[in-house]
Structure 1
Amino acid sequence: MTEPLLSVVVPIRNEAGNIAPLVAEIEAALGLRAPFEVIYVDDGSTDGSGAELARLRAERPWLRHIRHAASCGQSAAIRTGVLAARGPAVVTLDGDGQNDPAFIPALHDRLLATGCGLVQGQRVGRKDTGSKKLQSRIANAVRGAVLQDGTRDTGCGLKCFRRDVYLGLPYFDALHRFMPALVRRDGHRIELVDVVDRPRLTGVSNYGLLDRLWVGIVDLLGVRWLIRRRRRVPQADEA
């Protein structure tokens, strides 16, 4: 294959029914663009996700499948995908179909046009339950007030970023929810693009909201500490 200019990373766990429709949408969104690859990272699925990916890969040389032997969480799956990516730019999106791949070109174009470090999707028309939307609204408000990262929705799975920028960030579980603040900490600009939220195609969420809520308090304090400990970003030139 030609070396891709864009790598799409999709973390999944037990999403067999959502894989084929989402792969078809990604293909439709990127089929006429520069060389790309799609990396599905199977975070220890126990359903037919592996068999479904094997079937789809038979006719799609740009589709890759990496599997965790046991579930390690969404952030770990994203990191596995980014480490394996061959493109200089990476897009992430959730594997449940709520993130519309039709917005991938807009995010990638904004990254290329602005030279920023991260383009963060901002969901409009959220399709979650009322309680989940309320919890997300509170979490985003608290995170924004503490970190002042300039976003209203860091939890959106649709992100486009430079691979080298991501690999320069300190890794920890739930990193993907704090990327805007940490990318800015390293001296890179972030851009925001509104994206349309959709209902999940099939199944139920595989990553617990309450677990993220309580652990997120500790993560928030840790990220705040990291930001305060960054005194100045060096601007270096070689003579």
Structure 2
Amino acid sequence: MQLSLVIPLRDEIDSVDALLEALDRTVPLMGMSYEYILIDDGSVDGTFERLQTLAAGHPEIRILKLRRSYGQTSALHAGIQEALGTVIVTLDGDLQNDPADIPKLVARLDDGFDLVCGWRKIRHDSLVTRRLPSRVANALIRMLTHTTVHDIGCTLRAMQGDIAKELPLRGQWHRFIPVLAAWKGARVTEMVVTHHPRVAGLSKYRLSRSLGVLVDLAAILYLTRWSDRPMRFFGVVGFWLCAISCGCLLSSVPLFSMGSFATAVAAVFVSIIGGFTSLLLASFGFLAEQMATAENNSPHGRPWKIRARFSGTLDEIDDLHPDIIRHEYFGFKDSHHAA
């Protein structure tokens, strides 16, 4: 088993020395080959230069310097795609995640899980700007996505490498990794982890991001529920708009007869707007259906994933490429073997 630790960093020059020291106290004792992938997300305080100094003579340290600051999600995505390990662990670079928790998260994967999320049950953050918004957001996300993970936003996670590389990370979707992984068919669990106060550097979190979380949640809900059947979404909304439009149009008839011309005209106007909107939604639905069909028919866009293959002569085959199946595994005979 090979372990890749993916750590995004932005302006953390005061933390990187202590971070690598803490990792070296834990990771080498796990009995696995390992690598540190440190992603500099557009730092301007000398973080990259310090990383270069620390990496000298340490082949296990790999540094990615992004062209500019793309955000934590993009930094994590870049590191995950570069990772060579069969197991990938992600954590923040500000020392609030404790590297001593990494072994138990990785060990939990051996119980058949694909993703083990950290749960910062006791947090050392501001109540007003961090803990309270986080509790509200986590409760809302659990209610709408039916996930059982308590701490959606905790970056400390251990996951199988193949699952990690399939995650469609963009925007600020790193917060929704448990939801996206479950959508991909991963078996997800969580464990309580230690959370430390920030002792160096400045937090990059701002309360204004809460609105962005709501927008991202709407996108995640569409992706996980309707992306493979978009007409269900656009069609249902369009149908109800069309029904409301018809109701408004019918109600205008008695209104005209009773002399309520202003109200009747308003009802007709609403019915026209609603009718055009429902047609527009239906058009969006047809277009999205065509896009989804093209994506599903491509080799890399299939909505299903195979966890393992079984045959009558072999116990289990779980390491084959999904598009390449050797005939002898499944009882086929080459033509020159036929009688």
Alignment partner, residue 289 of structure 2:
none
Match of 1:181 among 179, 182, 204: 179
Deviation at 1:170, TM superposition (A): 2.2
Is residue 121 of structure 1 aligned with residue 118 of structure 2? yes
Alignment coverage as a number of residue pairs = 234
The answer on whether the counterparts of 2:13 and 2:47 sit within 8 Å (CA) in structure 1 is yes
Aligned mates of 2:29, 2:95 — CA distance in 1: 21
Deviation at 1:137, TM superposition (A): 0.7
Match of 1:65 among 33, 38, 63: 63
Match of 2:35 among 14, 17, 37: 37
Counterparts of residues 17-166 of structure 1 (less than 5 Å): 17-33=14-30, 34-111=32-109, 113-131=110-128, 132-166=130-164
* Counterpart residue type for residue 55 of structure 1: T
Q: For residues 179-213 of structure 1, what are the alpha-carbon distances to aligned partners after superposition, in whole Å with 9 as ceiling and x for unaligned?
A: 111211122210111001101120111243422x1
Deviation at 1:233, TM superposition (A): 4.7
Counterparts of residues 214-225 of structure 1 (less than 5 Å): 214-225=211-222
> TM-score scaled to structure 1, two decimals?
0.92
The answer on whether the counterparts of 1:14 and 1:206 sit within 8 Å (CA) in structure 2 is no
* Counterpart residue type for residue 170 of structure 1: P
**Which structure is larger by alpha-carbon Rg, 1 or 2?**
2
* Counterpart residue type for residue 11 of structure 1: P
Unaligned segments of structure 2, at least 5 residues: 230-302, 310-324, 331-339
Identity of aligned residues (%): 36
* Counterpart residue type for residue 185 of structure 1: W
Q: 1:209/1:91 Cα in 2 relative to 1: closer, same or farther (>3 Å)?
A: farther
**SS class of match (2:193):** strand
Q: For residues 145-180 of structure 1, what are the alpha-carbon distances to aligned partners after superposition, in whole Å with 9 as ceiling and x for unaligned?
A: 111111110111101111211222223222221111
Aligned mates of 2:185, 2:51 — CA distance in 1: 38
More strand by share: 1
The answer on whether the counterparts of 1:6 and 1:89 sit within 8 Å (CA) in structure 2 is yes
Alignment partner, residue 208 of structure 1:
206
Aligned mates of 2:78, 2:207 — CA distance in 1: 22
* Counterpart residue type for residue 213 of structure 2: G
Alignment partner, residue 9 of structure 1:
6
Deviation at 1:14, TM superposition (A): 0.2
Alignment partner, residue 190 of structure 1:
188
Q: Name the Cα RMSD after superposition.
A: 1.8
**SS class of match (1:31):** helix
The answer on whether the counterparts of 1:11 and 1:74 sit within 8 Å (CA) in structure 2 is yes
Where do 4+ consecutive residues of structure 1 move more than 3 Å? 230-239
Aligned mates of 1:169, 1:82 — CA distance in 2: 10
